[in-house]
A and B are shown apart, each in its own frame.
Chain A
Amino acid sequence: MSIVEIRGVDKTYQQGKVFVQALKNIDLTVEKGSFAAIAGPSGSGKTTLLNIIGGLDVPDRGDVRVDGNAYADMTRSGMAELRLCRIGFVFQAYNLLPVLSAVENVEYVMQLQGVDKKQRRERAVAILDEVGLSGRYHNRPAELSGGQQQRVAVARAIVSDPAIVLADEPTANLDSKTGEGLLQIMEKMNREKAVTFIFSTHDRMVMSYARRLIHIRDGEIENGKPME
């Protein structure tokens, strides 16, 4: 069963006076439970594609359907609802709220969903334990290392049992050993919780973890075949 279906998506940006075509006629299907990497050099359109899957950005043309929802038919607040409950995000850097502690960052999403306070705390602590951050619950992001911050971000992304987690170059700011650790945790979550992961990267090591590689170059998919 597919969780992401993209048909004929185009996206053009205007940078100053120059128009850049970021995506050209993209067709893509991702199956539920995948652990897929969008690979390509910088400027190839990886981030744009992820943003469009996540509903953060709107394509100029084409259809996007995620977890059974056709984006074209949805309102702004409907999109926020979908992102809140069904999609998790991990960004390259600085994606935690600096004024909240690790556990509060994880709780924040559940609070938006209206989960009650006690349950919130229990689940947040449990998920932080799972990503290996026992004892770091009350540290603010500034007091955590880059790898630890990204693990909090992963915990935040999966805590509400989303259908899909989108990670834009999650390891880009980490050294290779820490990056590998993060990928192992992501893979573990993928296996244990059957959450679909799509992440972008240009790093060979990271690609080697993916069970499916989607190569993108100059806004076009070169090879969309599953490796499984």
Chain B
Amino acid sequence: MGMDMKMAWRNVWRNPRRTWLTISAIGFACIILIFMLSFQFGSYGTMINSAIQINTGHLQIQAENYFAEKSMRQVVPEPGPVIRSASGIESVQAVTARANAFSLVSSDNRTGGAMIIGVDPESEAQVSTLETLVRRGEFLTEAEPASNPALIGRLMARNLQVGIGDELVVLGQGRDGSVAATALTVCGIYASGMDEFDRSTLHMPLDTFQEVYSMRGAVHEIVVKVSGLNHVAPVKRVLAKRLDQMPGGDSLTVLDWDELMPGLTQAIKLDLTIGVIFWALLVLVVAFSILNTFLMAVFERTREFGVMMAIGTRPGRLVWIMLYESTAMTLVGIGLGIAMGCMVTWIFQHIGIDLSGASEILQQYGISGRIYPQLSIITALAGPALVLIVTFAVSLYPALKIKSLKPVEAMMHV
């Protein structure tokens, strides 16, 4: 065994130029795969996190059918105990409550529809990035409560032709079907980068909202932030159990970010699937590129194999020697590829990749101008593993060719 390995290794370096070309091909494929996969995962991470932070949070507790129907009447009637219960779970960082109502919003000159969102300013700031998105004016916490403050998106401000301090009139329908109307003062304007959000949402303090829309203390969503994406599933299980034990808890449900934004995960899966098709084809091209090297390594040594068989080496053993050879080459290539791929990715992970040329598109998906590739065990090894498997499969063909060699014919071979 030891000697076979030694022979294989020496054989690898009999033709250094050819070996280096082959190793480079394998290494090249690994570098591209590691970098591109890390890049894809990095952008997914950015997308998911910004969507979660601006919008849905990690988990939400809602009335059973609220997510599907978005009806005013489907509420969490008593948010207090639920919030307390959720806050007590380990790895839950913050909890807040929201209520939503579609209403007509009018300024002096303009009228439009908007989703009015009632938020608790203190806890909202801990759950979402809303506070940090305020570009002009101030967040709800700093505004004078008596002025009935409202926070609106950049595009809504433009469409309604209003600025800080201007008055808006909101007209909608309360939870009980009554007319809900109030006057608000714009205290701040935010820009999230997501046009739809900036065009159609208005935030106001939850207590005012509950008063105006006759909510009688009820809310629509209880939003939970946990300490990381990997904590979402366990916290969700605990939450669901606690809700079951709560009076009236069986009419409530826990949804995670994935359920709240089904399009997002599917868009990611789609992008990943297309990526995998591209990369698999790339690896196939590489495989055929190096197949000739492996074949040559067999054919130019046919005579040698003849001698080895003549002195008693079994063909099966020759197959192994060939496989050791091709695997040695592949492993060197993969090793170098992983090292360089990780290095390149690591560098870009720290400096980021500037995609400002594409910023308009990326904004739509909630990605800011820079993308940071995310190197992980998966992104570092998945690509090289694919290369290893495909290369090994390819090297089987020439290696198995040896089995059919006959010593006499082999030795006649020049």
Q: Which residues of chain A have a CB within 8 Å of any CB of chain B? A: 51, 54, 56-57, 76-77, 80-81, 83-85, 88-89, 91, 94-100, 104, 107-109, 111-113, 156-157
What CA separation (Å) do A85 and B408 show in the bound complex? Answer: 19
Q: Are A104 and B310 in contact (CB under 8 A)?
A: no
Does B18 have its Cβ within 8 Å of any Cβ on chain A? no
Chain A residue with minimal CB distance to B13? Answer: A99
6 other A-B residue contacts (CB within 8 Å) besides A83-B312, A89-B311: A56-B309, A56-B408, A77-B314, A80-B309, A84-B312, A97-B307
What CA separation (Å) do A99 and B317 show in the bound complex? Answer: 17
B309 to chain A, nearest CB (A): 7
Q: Are B312 and A97 in contact (CB under 8 A)?
A: no
Q: Are B14 and A99 in contact (CB under 8 A)?
A: yes
Contacts of A89 in B (CB 8 A): 307, 310-311
Does B7 have its Cβ within 8 Å of any Cβ on chain A? yes
Contacts of B11 in A (CB 8 A): 99
Q: Are B311 and A99 in contact (CB under 8 A)?
A: no
Q: Which of B304, B311, B408 contacts A84 (CB 8 A)?
A: B311
A51 to chain B, nearest CB (A): 5
Q: Which of B7, B307, B309, B310 contacts A99 (CB 8 A)?
A: B7
A97-B7, A99-B11, A104-B3 as given contacts; A83 in contact with B304, CB under 8 Å? no
Q: Which of A80, A91, A104 contacts B312 (CB 8 A)?
A: A80
Q: Are A91 and B304 in contact (CB under 8 A)?
A: no
Q: Are A94 and B314 in contact (CB under 8 A)?
A: no
A188 to chain B, nearest CB (A): 22
Contacts of B317 in A (CB 8 A): 112
Chain B residue with minimal CB distance to A96? Answer: B307
A99-B10, A99-B14 as given contacts; A107 in contact with B3, CB under 8 Å? yes
Contacts of A97 in B (CB 8 A): 7, 304, 307-308
Q: Are B10 and A83 in contact (CB under 8 A)?
A: no
Q: Are A108 and B3 in contact (CB under 8 A)?
A: yes
Interchain Cβ contacts within 8 Å, total number: 61
Contacts of B315 in A (CB 8 A): 76
Interface of chain A: mostly helix, strand, loop or mixed: helix
Q: Are A56 and B307 in contact (CB under 8 A)?
A: no
Does B313 have its Cβ within 8 Å of any Cβ on chain A? yes
Q: Are A56 and B312 in contact (CB under 8 A)?
A: no
A97-B304, A108-B3 as given contacts; A83 in contact with B310, CB under 8 Å? yes
B256 to chain A, nearest CB (A): 59
Q: Which of A51, A81, A104, A107 contacts B408 (CB 8 A)?
A: A51
Contacts of A83 in B (CB 8 A): 310-312
A182 to chain B, nearest CB (A): 18
A83 to chain B, nearest CB (A): 4
Chain B residue with minimal CB distance to A113? Answer: B312
Interface size class of B (residues with CB under 8 A): 20 to 34
Q: Are B312 and A94 in contact (CB under 8 A)?
A: no
A56-B407, A57-B408 as given contacts; A156 in contact with B3, CB under 8 Å? no
Does B303 have its Cβ within 8 Å of any Cβ on chain A? yes
A143 to chain B, nearest CB (A): 14
Q: Are A98 and B307 in contact (CB under 8 A)?
A: no
Contacts of A88 in B (CB 8 A): 311
A123 to chain B, nearest CB (A): 15
Contacts of A99 in B (CB 8 A): 7, 10-11, 14
A79 to chain B, nearest CB (A): 9
Chain B residue with minimal CB distance to A54? Answer: B310
Q: Are A109 and B311 in contact (CB under 8 A)?
A: yes
What CA separation (Å) do A54 and B309 show in the bound complex? Answer: 11
What CA separation (Å) do A113 and B3 show in the bound complex? Answer: 13
List 24 interface pairs A-B (beta carbons < 8 Å), by A numbering. Answer: A51-B408, A56-B310, A56-B407, A56-B408, A57-B407, A76-B315, A80-B309, A80-B312, A83-B311, A84-B311, A84-B312, A89-B310, A91-B310, A91-B411, A95-B307, A97-B304, A98-B304, A99-B7, A109-B312, A111-B3, A112-B311, A112-B317, A156-B311, A157-B311
Contacts of B408 in A (CB 8 A): 51, 56-57
B290 to chain A, nearest CB (A): 21
Q: Are B314 and A80 in contact (CB under 8 A)?
A: yes
What CA separation (Å) do A83 and B313 show in the bound complex? Answer: 9
A47 to chain B, nearest CB (A): 9
Contacts of A104 in B (CB 8 A): 3
What CA separation (Å) do A80 and B313 show in the bound complex? Answer: 7
Contacts of A94 in B (CB 8 A): 303-304, 307
Contacts of B14 in A (CB 8 A): 98-99
B9 to chain A, nearest CB (A): 9
A57-B408, A97-B304, A97-B307 as given contacts; A85 in contact with B7, CB under 8 Å? no
What CA separation (Å) do A109 and B310 show in the bound complex? Answer: 11
Contacts of B307 in A (CB 8 A): 89, 91, 94-97
What CA separation (Å) do A100 and B309 show in the bound complex? Answer: 16
A51-B408, A56-B407, A91-B411 as given contacts; A112 in contact with B312, CB under 8 Å? yes
A48 to chain B, nearest CB (A): 9
Contacts of A84 in B (CB 8 A): 311-313
Contacts of A157 in B (CB 8 A): 311
Chain B residue with minimal CB distance to A111? Answer: B3
Contacts of A80 in B (CB 8 A): 309, 312-314
Contacts of B314 in A (CB 8 A): 77, 80
A140 to chain B, nearest CB (A): 9
Q: Which residues between 282 and 323 of chain B lie within 8 Å of chain A, taking CB atoms?
A: 303-304, 307-315, 317
Contacts of A56 in B (CB 8 A): 309-310, 407-408, 411
What CA separation (Å) do A85 and B314 show in the bound complex? Answer: 13
Chain A residue with minimal CB distance to B9? Answer: A99
What CA separation (Å) do A57 and B410 show in the bound complex? Answer: 11
Chain A residue with minimal CB distance to B1? Answer: A111
